[in-house]
């Protein structure tokens, strides 16, 4: 079918384009390089085939001719093939050669440009490649010792551009940085010209070395780095490296559908998140039949109260009511802010929310019976509410609203988890299922729990709990992560 040559951006998974994410989501095959980010590979369907063709230390990479042949062969099938390349596919990435091979073979292809590290990596270090009064152009040049590139690059011309208000961005130049600096000085650039070299830009490992052209050869630098030469490299608009959770890698174990708010908050504070969905939310065993009956009963004004103990139960029951007015005079209780917010999305304001978001507090806050209460719950839930409500004189209908089943995180996510700084647990089932799918040996050094019940489950399983959130909400959990990591 079509082969998509997709730019993955420089590393931060948020820096892939909308189009790139779209085609990845329907890929049958992803052909990727060593520098590719695990969470981007996770955008492809779980069943998609993934082939690594990149170099890694000690392992030979696939020859370019073989990569071209692979893309042509698989592009001729009816599969959707994504060739994922770091940064932009046409900037020092041999994407042009792949496109040429596909064109020659008559295989349709689409190029999805990416955010190149040449611009984005300096930006994440607070270095604008052009700046009014400092730089009117920027030149991106390879420092690779490829004999073709080495003989083609006119370093004197590059130096002249640099000497007349141009920024020079060198990719693949770590090994040759001394020679490059020498050539540029010989070509007329001042030895005191500022240099910023950024390693692993846009990632948790980002590191910026600031030096001068004269000292570049001796500067401690390792690949992969983007080297910026010119007055703009003397600007320090650093922002990314100053975020409170910068450089920290944090595992999120929530179900994929529920993880985004936590992931967004942690990333916004500069953390790298590793999504390892330990649980998945599935339909109840009866396919939702009992819940549909319960919804009909609600509409018939059967219940005095409907008690919601999670956003999940709201999201499962409310659509079956079709119209929020079906609740009529029925009281609506919600365990906490997440559940309240879910209700608000259906236009319902909770009548009762306890101070502390735990079942015991909800039970205390509810009045006594007699009457009838609907309690939609997960298939396996604590019995505090059913028992407590019965003791308060209520007739309680417990209805299974959803099941949490063990998730199937990708091998890449499992590997990444083992190197993380901290892990977040948002329910007892995330604790149990994390241990089932990842094992205690992959547990990061710092454990943060959303509330006391989750923490008890973790302790009972032998996990050391470092911090329990004061407010049992996503914001409370994020605060707890910051506290646990001293941020």
Residues that bind ligand SAH (CB under 6 A): 10-11, 35, 85-88, 91-93, 116-118, 121, 171-172, 198-203, 223-226
Catalytic positions, written as ranges: 33, 55, 172
Pairing of strands 446-449, 467-468: parallel
CB of 460 vs ligand SAH, minimal distance in Å: 41
The 10 Å CB-count burial string (b at 16+, else e) for 135-146 is beebbbbbbbee
CB of 34 vs ligand SAH, minimal distance in Å: 10
CB of 50 vs ligand SAH, minimal distance in Å: 20
Burial class (CB in 10 A: 0-12, 13-18, 19+), 343: buried
Nearer to ligand SAH, 92 or 425 (CB): 92
Nearer to ligand SAH, 92 or 394 (CB): 92
Identify the residue whose tokens are 């209460």: 373
**Which long-range CB contacts under 8 A does 288-293 form with residues at least 24 apart?**
288/316, 288/320, 290/399, 290/400, 291/316, 291/317, 291/320, 291/376, 291/399, 291/400, 291/401, 292/320
State both tokens at 204. Answer: 């948790």
How far apart CA 479 and CA 485 sit, in angstroms, is: 10
Q: Is the peptide bond preceding residue 224 cis, with omega within 30 degrees of 0?
A: yes
Nearer to ligand SAH, 117 or 426 (CB): 117
The 10 Å CB-count burial string (b at 16+, else e) for 152-191 is ebebeebbebbeeebbbbbbbbbebbeebbbbbbebebee
Nearer to ligand SAH, 172 or 353 (CB): 172
Nearer to ligand SAH, 35 or 334 (CB): 35
Pairing of strands 279-282, 394-406: antiparallel
CB of 16 vs ligand SAH, minimal distance in Å: 12
Picking from 380, 403, 382, 402, the residue whose alpha carbon sits closest to that of residue 451 is 382
All residues at 6 or more sequence positions from 309 whose CB lies less than 8 Å from its CB, including other chains:
335, 339, 359, 362, 375, 377, 381, 385
Identify the residue whose tokens are 């942690």: 266
CB of 456 vs ligand SAH, minimal distance in Å: 41
Nearer to ligand SAH, 14 or 188 (CB): 14
Edge-first strand listing for the sheet containing 249-252: 272-275, 249-252, 422-425, 446-449, 467-468
Residue closest to ligand SAH when measured from CB atoms: 87
CB of 197 vs ligand SAH, minimal distance in Å: 9
CB of 82 vs ligand SAH, minimal distance in Å: 15
Picking from 110, 125, 107, the residue whose alpha carbon sits closest to that of residue 169 is 125
Beta bridge partners of 4: 82, 110
Nearer to ligand SAH, 90 or 305 (CB): 90
């Amino acid at each position: 079918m079509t082969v998509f040559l997709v730019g993955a951006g420089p590393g931060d998974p948020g820096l892939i384009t909308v189009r790139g994410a779209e085609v990845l989501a329907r890929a049958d095959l992803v052909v990727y390089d060593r520098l590719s980010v695990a969470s981007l590979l996770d955008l492809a369907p779980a069943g998609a085939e993934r082939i690594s063709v990149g170099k890694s230390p000690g392992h030979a990479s696939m020859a370019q001719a073989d990569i071209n042949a692979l893309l042509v062969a698989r592009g001729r099938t009816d599969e959707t093939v994504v060739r994922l390349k770091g940064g932009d596919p046409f900037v020092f990435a041999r994407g042009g050669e792949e496109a040429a091979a596909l064109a020659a073979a008559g295989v349709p292809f689409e190029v999805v440009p990416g955010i190149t590290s040449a611009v984005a990596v300096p930006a994440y270090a607070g270095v604008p490649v052009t700046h009014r009064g400092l730089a009117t152009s920027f030149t991106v040049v390879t420092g690779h010792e490829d004999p073709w590139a080495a003989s083609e690059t006119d370093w004197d011309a590059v130096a002249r551009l640099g000497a007349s208000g141009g920024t020079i961005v060198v990719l693949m130049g770590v090994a040759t940085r001394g020679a490059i600096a020498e050539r540029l000085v010989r070509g007329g650039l001042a030895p005191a010209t500022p240099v910023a070299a950024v390693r692993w830009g846009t990632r948790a490992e980002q590191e910026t070395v600031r030096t001068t052209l004269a000292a570049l050869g001796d500067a401690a630098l390792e690949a992969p780095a983007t080297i910026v030469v010119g007055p703009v490299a003397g600007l320090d608009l650093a922002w990314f490296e100053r975020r409170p959770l910068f450089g920290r890698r944090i595992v999120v174990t929530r179900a994929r559908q529920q993880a985004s708010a936590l992931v967004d908050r942690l990333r916004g504070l500069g953390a790298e998140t590793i999504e390892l969905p330990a649980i998945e939310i599935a339909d109840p065993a009866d396919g939702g039949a009992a819940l549909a009956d319960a919804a009909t009963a609600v509409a018939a004004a059967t219940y005095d109260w409907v008690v919601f103990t999670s956003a999940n139960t709201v999201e499962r029951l409310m659509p079956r009511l079709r119209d929020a007015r079906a609740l009529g005079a029925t009281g609506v209780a919600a365990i906490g802010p997440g559940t309240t917010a879910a209700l608000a999305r259906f236009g319902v304001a909770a009548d009762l929310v306890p101070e502390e978001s735990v079942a015991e507090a909800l039970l205390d806050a509810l009045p006594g019976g007699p009457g009838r209460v609907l309690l939609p719950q997960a298939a396996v839930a604590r019995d505090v509410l059913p028992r407590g409500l019965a003791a308060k004189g209520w007739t309680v209908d417990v209805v299974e609203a959803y099941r949490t089943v063990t998730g199937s995180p990708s091998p890449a996510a499992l590997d990444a988890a083992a190197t993380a700084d901290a892990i977040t647990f948002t329910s007892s089932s995330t604790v149990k299922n994390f241990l089932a799918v990842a094992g205690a040996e992959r547990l990061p050094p710092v454990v943060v729990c959303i509330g006391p019940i989750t923490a008890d489950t973790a302790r009972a399983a032998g996990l050391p709990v470092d911090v329990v959130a004061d407010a049992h909400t996503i914001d409370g959990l994020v605060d707890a992560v910051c506290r646990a990591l001293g941020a």
